[in-house]
Amino acid sequence: MKWLPVFWVVLITVALCASGCTGTSGQTVVVGGKTFNEQYILAEMIALLLEEEGYAAEVKANLNDATLFEGIKKGQVDVYVEYTGTAYSQLLKLPPMTVWDPDEVYLKVEEGLAGEAITVLYGVGFRDDYTIAVPEAWAAELNVTAISDLAPHAAAMDLGTDYVFPDREDGLPQLGRVYNFSFGRVRQMSPTLMYEVIKSGEVDAITPYTTDTRVDLYNLRILDDDRSAFPPYHAIVVANEKIAGDQKAVEALSVLSERIDSGTMRSLNYQFDVEKKEARDIARGYLVSEGLIAG
């Protein structure tokens, strides 16, 4: 057998590695995302971090909870950002706690997802809890500071909410059980539209997330969940076995571990909601500013 010159051996080796000798990095990693601001941004961050290490990444956004959960179990989605409260109640169908303990919720979610061959890689660092918000002027006039203060008013109030909150076991049903009242009418709509209808007075209260900067922009007051009706929603990165077993991919994504606090996430969401920047541009700007990817 005639040996090839060293120069050609090197070229052939490089070509072979580029086409797949790195395992998962030679395949397309599907990054899932839900239907709102920070989900678009975080999905793009994950994709950019993987691409920085030579992976091909495809973002599939605008997916609901059930689709993402089934997708990651079936290998149609490889990695995405979930929330502990959602995983606990909606995905794993665990019973509500009498008193919500964030650490216990996290552990039970980690254990439950492991039983589905899904790994919790890490927490992102912030919580994005459901809450109730009302116009600041109305709240100040009636001295409404907590959800329990709504009891005398709720029957005459219209609630604007997203498409899943009314049916979630940890959402509106839980609110009714804990506080023992219900709203006069519940109107389901996109999260963005909620703010417009409360601004116009078409609804009296809405159900935003705690990382949403539009609460301040629309002069709303977030009410204290004084009876702990809502579970904690720590943002967590979850992955299927393909990604969890790929050390290079895990290391690439680990730079986001406990890195983004609520204030930072609100500022990134502000760029999306108010400044109307593209999610990928926001994600890239943050990662470059933090020195996590090349400029």
Helix (H) / strand (E) element for 76: namely none
DSSP string, 88-140: IIIIS-PPPPSS--HHHHHHHHHHHHHTTT-EEEEEEEEE--B--EEEHHHHH
What's residue 11's pLDDT? 39
Q: Which of 61, 28, 66 is nearest to 44 (CA)?
A: 61
The second-level CATH assignment, the architecture, of 27-128+232-289 is 3-Layer(aba) Sandwich (3.40)
Local structure of 261: helix, strand or coil: coil
Question: What's the mean per-residue pLDDT of the chain?
Answer: 90
Query: Is 133-222 a domain of CATH 3.40.190.120?
Result: yes
- The reported pLDDT for the residue numbered 24 is 56
Residues in CB range of 280: below 8 A, 6 or more apart: 44, 47, 48
Which residue is associated with the tokens 């008013």?
153
pLDDT band for 8, please (50, 70, 90 cuts).
very low
As a whole number, mean pLDDT of residues 189-211 equals 94
Average of per-residue pLDDT across 72-86: 97
Strands across the sheet containing 234-239 = 56-60, 28-32, 79-83, 234-239, 119-127
Please give the pLDDT value at position 168.
83
Residue-wise pLDDT tens digits, 216-263: 899 999 999 999 888 899 999 999 999 999 999 999 999 999 999 988
pLDDT tens string 15-57:
333 333 344 546 899 999 999 999 999 999 999 999 999 999 9
- Residue 5's pLDDT is 43
pLDDT of residue 228: 85
**Which pLDDT belongs to residue 26?**
65
Work out the pLDDT band at 160, boundaries 50, 70, 90.
very high
Domain boundary assignment for the chain: 27-128+232-289, 133-222
Q: Which region among 62-76, 95-109, 129-143 has the lowest average model confidence (pLDDT)?
A: 95-109
Q: How many CB atoms lie within 10 A of CB 7?
A: 8
Q: Check residue 96 and give its pLDDT.
A: 85
Rg of the chain over Cα atoms, rounded to whole angstroms, equals 22
CB 132 within 8 A of CB 223: yes
